[in-house]
Structure 1
Amino acid sequence: MSVQDDLAAVRRRLQDLEHTVEELERRVGTERGAPPTSSAGRAQSMVTIPEGPYDAGKWTDVDDEGLGARDRHAP
């Protein structure tokens, strides 16, 4: 097979995979009682991140990322 034939086969398989995943999403949505979604526009849920500072009490036993432990020097 040539490279073009290989690429065409990969594209077909990728399209088959996308179709199969969309069909599974529809079936799972139907089983859960959710309204069917169109593949053209998927709804994305938004997550609101608070602007205030995080609770410092949650971070008492962790190291600063990339800096090593507080009582030792980074390598």
Structure 2
Amino acid sequence: MSVHDEMASVQRCLDDLLRSVGRLEKQLGSGGLEMRRVRADTNHLRESVALLRESAAGPAALPKRPDLVTISDTPYDPSLWVDTDDEGLGARDRRAP
């Protein structure tokens, strides 16, 4: 079977599970902790399958890589660094202890 066929099969099974959980909820009520957990787990599984389906769709579904920015090799203007301290060395007019 192809990936598409497998995903369709998983989706059919998940739809059956959702219907079964809905019927159980009608019979048992939705207020119990166990039923709320089953409902939450079912919803989580549905979201996970949706994410898996998106990733299996191929490279068209992947986000496009941003364009690269070129950084020039020319030195920076020294006047940009006049009012700064040399990190870790202290200020120019002071001596280290």
TM-score interval w.r.t. the shorter chain? 0.3 to 0.5
Structure whose CA Rg is larger: 2
Q: RCO higher in 1 or 2 (8 Å CA, sep ≥ 6)?
A: 2
Q: Which has the higher helix share?
A: 2
> TM-score if structure 2 supplies the norm length?
0.34
